[in-house]
């Protein structure tokens, strides 16, 4: 059963123990509950597409472990071309679902990061994490499961390391090392797509030193494991998902982010890939971000494509030619292609790790993260500018008012322009959803903040080489070092 | 009763006929209904402040009609200094309410525009609109009422003038001219602060030609006039206003925008200031935008001030010094002061109209509109960048989850950082509210779109003078005109 | 002789002792030497314009000392309106000369700064600097002289104060206090328009502490005073000023910046306005920059006007309508009006000092300085973009080649487009001159660097007020101070 | 003789017929004349580097025609990896020479474009252009020559096609078709690196229709062919190249751009690759720009690297730590890596043409061209901002003044800061040279203008696909086409 059907996927979610809450209410069935069904539908798209041969090409590859066809989301990326496929797949999924299906791609990135990191740990310490991961991965590929990924800890006071926090649980940590596994406590925050996932892949949230070694932990668990409580966070206009009508215009996708609360969860050793090897937490992070910050350029480009389409749609519905907005549409395209292209470049300039996995170029990945944190904002602004006042903040009466028996006819009369009131309203609601509504993904801080990325850019910039180029060209022979700090 | 109390204001609203709907439900009391009470509270702030002598200074001036102290919102701006006071007042009100109190300032701008325009109409046509307006204004000042303003028509197909629309009602128009007044039909869309207003001042929505003369209409009406139905539009996360707790963190202000549905409304002639004089519709618009696009720079600066404060607050709550974000905070200040300053400049470079009113410089006003449509977006992005992941899309559990008996303690445990969970959550919710939530005003298209402003910039730029400067400097004597279009 | 003629001005320069060098050569007559004649011509424009009543209005005002008409450049600015006139005058002079006539406006700003500062010093110390300045100024007004201003010291190692430098002369300082005056040694660097000036007004280059009190010095001297040697610096393509033809297309203006070398220069006490009162060096700088950074917005707008004109001219000469470049031209106008407008705003929000002089708003002035350091670069880029390849780096054969007997006919043949080769070449050379040639003023660092301006923005931003606004709105009652540095 | 030595290269230039002029003077020896020696030296670097095995790797590849090692500049790019090598090589050459060595890379791009285009022409018309090109290329590889490339015609009135110009020579054209070749007349303008080239590869300057078929011409000629006169254009501060000292600080590179004047030049048929096949002019341009606009990102990144180095160098020479400017240095790096990375991406997303050559992705190439036309300007501004006043316009006394017997000691005294006066001056002159001096390449319009690139972005953006994505997501079923123009 290497590739399962959409229905298999839905069924697998239905079978799980309910442990997800929102609004202080337990969600019995994530596939039908308004708070989660859209994101499940979005993730489900990745299974539906197997039926279309052209799409299947985008979504699947050959397992290097078994030679079987597998979902790319469960593959180890081994070449630049596969990395390009990663960017393209993410763009495609945003094109189809309008937003993030983070429960697939963060998991993918996490397992790729730990594939490499576990190899390195084993090499130094003689452990068997890498084999465990491979064993688990083979099985995961066979089951074709959906895996969310989780890095971000609550962190508490940002200026203190985990072990110096007043509360040691502010970062997820091992509270007991047992022969058959580990027991962990703490939380992960703002984790995307968990409601649509079968399993969750955990990474350390930062690079740690020896004093924080119990925080150096990576593992993978079923989403409904004992001791894990999940609380979905709010997002803009989220209660509309509980309403009738098209004020949330998109049913084919949706985003959820949750807090994972670990109350002494036992993880069996076969599912543990790091337990105390603090020295490798930095690498786990680095391998994660090098891939993630490359491919996220595809994500925001994919949403940007939809922003362009929505803006043109609304302009036409208003009776205006898209030509009127040519310069804006070109700029939106430039923004999209820049984040997509920089991700491709990071893949192209990457290199093969001895473990067999592909590592993207860190400089280009991190530069891209800065673009991801800025350009989509301009694209959104331009969509709102083209769309006009009703799209800017979704300034139209609610669906209930639109269909009011008392005055709905008037609302519809006045929302009509060159095309039907409904089409125009749906287009405007789509822009709202994409730019200031429930479809806005948290890509600025997701996968780490732009300031962190800038730090990498600075570190990787070979500044002294550049100084030496300039010295040579200017004919300067004197030694001109960085000035010493005055004591 | 030149300056009334907050309680008088509230009472005046309670006494009005209920004619405002949201979610297909009639709002019986705008001062207590969740959909409108925050905006009423925001507008009410302008009455509360009379009690503080320093604030009173900002809010009041002397009526040039009566010599009595009056609210600035009901004054005719007669000097550059009064225009500066306009910008300062708007900034101050955003500082205090966090968002737009459009039911005061659009009305103010409208009455100033028609004060001038009616003077011009009377001069050419011998009508008595100007005296009517003065009579009404004296009374309005005495009653110290709150006046919303309404320009934007639904417009229908953007490429056709009003009379060429399939439906003649797509722009508000006169359907009957009577001796004692006019009857109007149509709608105004996206009108701000109506729920908090006693009256509504109507302006033509565009410049019209003779064939559209029935659309050349300006008047002022009680908000609860017979034949007028008002439907409040949605805004981001608006249903949270109906919830308990602090997911909407701000109670001191709120924004509403509504559709006004005119079903053959009779307006008595004393309240009509233009009725068919299409030739002056362009000027009505011009005088409106010259003031509005200047002062709106104060609005967005005032909200920008709060964005800075909220970002610093959340950084500190995270345990981080604001110094870490120095360059971002400086940029936010630069953005704020630029829109504020350009508005001041438009006032300073303005000129006195023969009617006695002050007209801002159109070039600088319109340049400012372009800044207003761009810089606040960057300020918002920076607030989210400083605030971190929880502020970006408000990615935290709901208040219900925060106070859950089952796991609320864990949510609170993990939301705590350097300060209490509640303070940190409130600060993050404030950033969300300001940047992607219910506090976002529609300033990009409010008062007209940036593309319209750019058109004015182009028209007012004296390009040939600049060409001649360049010619003279370059020593070019040949005539170099614009090339003729090829036939 | 309150307002002298252009010829008087030229004669006054001819009469001075030659003490200016360039290319290791003494310039005998600054009014005819190729290195200086263009800047003299530019400054002379301010005298020529007296003949035109409309221009005279822009250039002159009434002396508050004598009631006589005087050049604005020699006036004390006493109202916001006079400050507006300052911005307008600077814009106008750039319109007419294409570049900076720094020998007038820096002097003006310097004397205004010391007018205020000397008043403050006298108030505290009972000195008579203010009266000395007034006496000198009356005479200067009567003679209608041109005054350069000089602040910038060579400074040596930027991390050390003047008295800690290896060489005490790296900042201009008093080496002898005498009863009849002072003796100064050191240098001032990059001083604008000295060659066109009759006198030079010296300010301290920075804010100093007590250990550096000998550096706290301000005075005014004839340009040709004994002991002063002046060396003109290079600027882009400066040797073209020594060539025939139109490769420097502009003869009506030019910029010079020089190094002033003070070798024990004696300054009589009547001309000394600060001598050791280190406590007031900060204010001297503050009063200077508040005015300077406001009005410089007029300067760069004035040059921006010419950039627009030149770009349109070249587009037309290429056969293209300016409409093709509408969005670029609008952006250029926006940039111009923004720096101009922010300067106006700084004037409008200024305040009257007890000395009678007007002090611009420091926040708005410093914000403007940041715009001045960025927006004109975009305007230049757009001019080059509109102008096409020949304007980008002035990529055309030299005038010598243009007129070559061998192949000049071919060069002219191929430089022709929709208009004559000469007009097209002149227009392209003008863009080159304005954007990458001899006409580029040093406005980014002139009057201090943008990073210094940003420091002021940060200091003046009332951050705690903004934090308190946010706290109040978010309903936060807990004290949330800046975190303390960890020890 | 597949790879020749630097000395061979120099000798080959010395042997050519002098036909290059500047300042109306014939340049007898381009290798020693001040106007051309720097660019010859820059181009010569590409031969010198063969001696270093590591550099040789960057510079050479294997000829697919002969299997011999050849200069990359003479190779046909056949894979994405070779395209990456192109970008890297260009960046490296800018690192080493500080500026453009256009006489190598434009030729390279031209021959790659015509390799493909000639294959296509032959396929349709049965001609033998492709074999001619291969034959010539084998020989060129064996001789290891330097080839400039030339596209840009003078063009005359931009609104008219070549055959409609008043003067038919405004675009290079065939005036005679002979059995043994063609005779051409006209000019090419702003051609880079010709003085350092052995041969010049000519491409049509635009896409032409049938009426302009005589303008559809491509060929390669020796630089000193009979009938060809070359006139070097000016660039900023070019006469400094004729001076002693370090006011031009760089000797290892320099840029020249020239006008090529063709007075009935006969080109033998073996060297002609297109002669009248107008239908393929568009493709010749497309294949050229797809590669060129990708790789130019490496060029400007390479110069950007030097700008960073120069800025840090000057900061240190001023006594300041580079840390003070961290955010600016990071931004400069981001700009560099963006243009470099987008070029890589265009290569990675390219495809193999049936002729065997690699064609870059047109969308990404053209997006990159827009970045190339903007980001380096910001990088330059930041270099000037970090460098301070002396670097902004090179505001320091000339080398003659620096070494003056009269006052040179004082100039040197005052130019000294934390390091020697000479180092500091050289660093400042380098920034000047790079940002506003003779080192500024014409990359905005070189290889076509950004507006042309934007046109491609618009055409290639699959807008209807994006509209359909949006329609599907928003649940819109109505047909919403582009509105028809009103008649």
Would you call A486 and C159 a contact, using CB atoms and an 8 Å cutoff? yes
The percentage of chain B sitting over the pLDDT mark of 70, rounded to a whole number, equals 99
State which residue of chain C sits closest to A327, comparing Cα positions.
C327
Q: How many CB pairs under 8 A join B and C?
A: 246
A window 155-174, beta carbon within 8 A of C: 159
Interchain contact D244–A (C-beta under 8 A): no
Read off the pLDDT of each residue in D14-42 and give the average, rounded to a whole number. Answer: 98
State which residue of chain C sits closest to A159, comparing Cα positions.
C486
Would you call D159 and B327 a contact, using CB atoms and an 8 Å cutoff? no
Interchain contact B248–C (C-beta under 8 A): no
- Print pLDDT tens along chain C (487 aa): 579 999 999 999 999 999 999 999 999 999 999 999 999 999 999 999 999 999 998 999 999 999 999 999 999 999 999 999 999 999 999 999 999 999 999 999 999 999 999 999 999 999 999 999 999 999 999 999 999 999 999 999 998 999 999 999 999 999 999 999 999 999 999 999 999 999 999 999 999 999 999 999 999 999 999 999 999 999 999 999 999 999 999 999 999 999 999 999 999 999 999 999 999 999 999 999 999 999 999 999 999 999 999 999 999 999 999 999 999 999 999 999 999 999 999 999 999 999 999 999 999 999 999 999 999 999 999 999 999 999 999 999 999 999 999 999 999 999 999 999 999 999 999 999 999 999 999 999 998 999 999 999 999 999 999 999 999 999 999 999 999 865 4
Interchain contact B96–C (C-beta under 8 A): yes
User: CA of C237: how far to CAs of A82, A407, C440, D147, D247, in Å?
Assistant: 52, 72, 11, 30, 12
Cβ neighbours around D3 below 10 Å, total = 16
pLDDT of residue B311: 98
Contacts of A133 (CB under 8 A, 6+ apart): A111, A114, A115, A118, A273
* ipTM of the predicted assembly exceeds 0.95: yes
Using pLDDT thresholds of 50, 70 and 90, give the confidence band for residue B484.
confident
Q: Which residues of D touch C239 (CB under 8 A)?
A: 237, 239-240
State which residue of chain D sits closest to C441, comparing Cα positions.
D393
Chains with ≥3 Cβ pairs under 8 A against D?
A: A, B, C
Distance CA A469, CA D253 (A): 13
Kindly write down the DSSP assignment for every residue of D32-81, as one continuous string: TSTTTHHHHHHHHHHHHGGGSHHHHHHHEEE-TTTSSEEEGGGSPP-SHH
pLDDT of residue D80: 98
The position carrying tokens 């006489």 is D103
Q: Which residues of A touch C483 (CB under 8 A)?
A: 159
Q: Which residues of D touch C170 (CB under 8 A)?
A: 414
Q: Which residues of D touch B159 (CB under 8 A)?
A: 483, 486
pLDDT in tens, B339-372: 999 999 999 999 999 999 999 999 999 999 999 9
Interchain contact A282–D (C-beta under 8 A): no
Q: Which residues of A touch B393 (CB under 8 A)?
A: 235-236, 257, 440-442
pLDDT of residue D321: 95
Distance CA A227, CA A23 (A): 20
Closest CA to A306 of A397, A141, A425, A427: A427
Comparing CB atoms, the residue among C159, C327, C483 nearest residue A327 is C327
A window 321-350, beta carbon within 8 A of D: 321-322, 326-327, 329-330, 333-334, 337-338, 340-349
The number of angstroms, rounded, from the C-alpha of C269 to the middle of its chain's C-alpha atoms is: 27
Distance CA A277, CA C262 (A): 67
Contacts of B429 (CB under 8 A, 6+ apart): B246, B247, B248, B249, B394, B396, B437, C474
Read off the pLDDT of each residue in D24-48 and give the average, rounded to a whole number. Answer: 98
- Are D221 and D199 in contact by the 8 Å Cβ rule? The answer is yes
State which residue of chain A sits closest to B421, comparing Cα positions.
A156
Chains with ≥3 Cβ pairs under 8 A against C?
A: A, B, D
β-bridge mates for residue A22, sequence order: A25
The position carrying tokens 């999940």 is A230
Would you call D237 and C236 a contact, using CB atoms and an 8 Å cutoff? yes
Comparing CB atoms, the residue among A152, A234, A384 nearest residue B389 is A152
pLDDT of residue B487: 46
The position carrying tokens 């050569």 is C25
State which residue of chain C sits closest to D409, comparing Cα positions.
C261
State which residue of chain A sits closest to D424, comparing Cα positions.
A476
pLDDT in tens, C106-119: 999 999 999 999 99
Q: How many CB pairs under 8 A join A and C?
A: 5
Would you call B476 and C426 a contact, using CB atoms and an 8 Å cutoff? yes
Residues of chain A with pLDDT under 70: 1, 485-487
Distance CA D280, CA D206 (A): 10
Interchain contact B482–D (C-beta under 8 A): no
C window 421-480, beta carbon within 8 A of D: 432, 436-437, 440-442, 444-446, 449-451
pLDDT of residue B2: 79
CA angle D432, D434, D438 (to 5 degrees): 85
- Are D85 and D68 in contact by the 8 Å Cβ rule? The answer is no
pLDDT in tens, B162-175: 999 999 999 999 99
pLDDT in tens, B57-94: 899 999 999 999 999 999 999 999 999 999 999 999 99
Phi, psi of A57 (to 5 degrees): -55, -45
Read off the pLDDT of each residue in B408-435 and give the average, rounded to a whole number. Answer: 98
Distance from CA of B319 to the nearest CA of A (A): 5
CB neighbour class for A290 (10 Å; exposed up to 12, middle 13-18, buried from 19)? buried
pLDDT of residue A487: 46
pLDDT of residue C1: 54
Burial letters B347-385, b for 16+ CB under 10 A, else e: bbbbeebebebbbbbbbbbbbbbbbbbbbbbbbbbbbbb
Interchain contact D300–C (C-beta under 8 A): no
Q: Which residues of B touch A234 (CB under 8 A)?
A: 247, 394-398
The position carrying tokens 């107008």 is D278
Read off the pLDDT of each residue in D17-28 and give the average, rounded to a whole number. Answer: 98
């Amino acid at each position: 059963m290497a590739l399962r059907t959409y229905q298999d996927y839905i069924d697998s979610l239905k079978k799980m123990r309910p442990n997800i809450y929102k609004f202080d209410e337990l969600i019995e069935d994530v596939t039908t509950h308004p708070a989660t069904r859209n994101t499940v539908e979005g993730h489900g798209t990745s299974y539906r597409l197997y039926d279309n041969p052209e799409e299947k090409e985008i979504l699947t590859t050959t397992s290097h472990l078994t030679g079987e066809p597998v979902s790319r989301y469960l593959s180890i990326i081994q070449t630049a071309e596969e990395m390009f496929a990663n960017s393209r797949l993410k763009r495609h999924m945003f094109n189809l679902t309008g937003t993030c299906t983070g429960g697939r791609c963060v998991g993918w990135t996490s397992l790729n990061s730990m594939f490499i990191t576990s190899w390195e740990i084993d090499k130094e310490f003689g452990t068997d994490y890498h084999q465990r991961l491979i064993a688990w991965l083979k099985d995961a590929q066979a089951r074709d499961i959906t895996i969310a990924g989780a890095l971000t800890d609550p962190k508490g006071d940002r200026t203190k390391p985990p072990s110096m926090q007043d509360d040691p649980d502010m970062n997820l940590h091992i509270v007991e090392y047992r022969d058959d596994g580990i027991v962990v406590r703490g939380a992960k925050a703002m984790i995307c797509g968990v409601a649509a996932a079968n399993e969750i892949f955990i990474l350390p949230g930062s690079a740690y030193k020896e004093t924080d070694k119990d925080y150096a932990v990576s593992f993978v668990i079923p989403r409904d494991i004992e001791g894990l409580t999940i609380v979905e966070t709010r997002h803009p206009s989220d209660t509309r998902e509980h309403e009738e009508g098209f004020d949330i215009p998109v049913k084919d996708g949706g985003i959820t982010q949750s807090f994972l609360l670990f109350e002494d969860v036992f993880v069996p050793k076969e599912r543990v890939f790091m337990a105390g090897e603090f020295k490798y937490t930095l690498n786990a992070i680095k391998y994660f971000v090098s891939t993630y910050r490359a491919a996220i350029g595809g994500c925001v480009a994919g949403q940007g494509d939809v922003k362009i389409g929505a803006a043109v749609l609304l302009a036409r519905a208003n009776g205006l030619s898209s030509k009127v907005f040519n310069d804006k549409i070109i700029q939106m395209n430039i923004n999209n292609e820049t984040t997509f292209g920089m991700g491709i470049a990071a893949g192209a300039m990457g290199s093969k790790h001895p473990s067999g996995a592909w590592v993207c170029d860190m400089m280009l990945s991190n530069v891209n993260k800065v673009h991801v944190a800025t350009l989509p904002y301009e694209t959104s602004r331009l969509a709102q500018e083209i769309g006009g006042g009703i799209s800017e903040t979704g300034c139209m009466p609610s669906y209930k008012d639109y269909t009011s028996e008392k005055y709905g006819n008037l609302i519809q009369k006045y929302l009509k322009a060159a095309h039907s009131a409904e089409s125009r309203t749906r287009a405007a609601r789509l822009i709202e959803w994409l730019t200031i509504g429930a479809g806005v993904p948290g890509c600025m801080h997701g996968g780490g903040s732009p300031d962190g990325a800038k730090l990498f850019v600075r570190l990787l910039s070979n500044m002294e080489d550049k100084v030496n180029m300039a010295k040579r060209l200017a004919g300067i022979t004197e030694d001109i070092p960085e000035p010493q700090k005055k004591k």
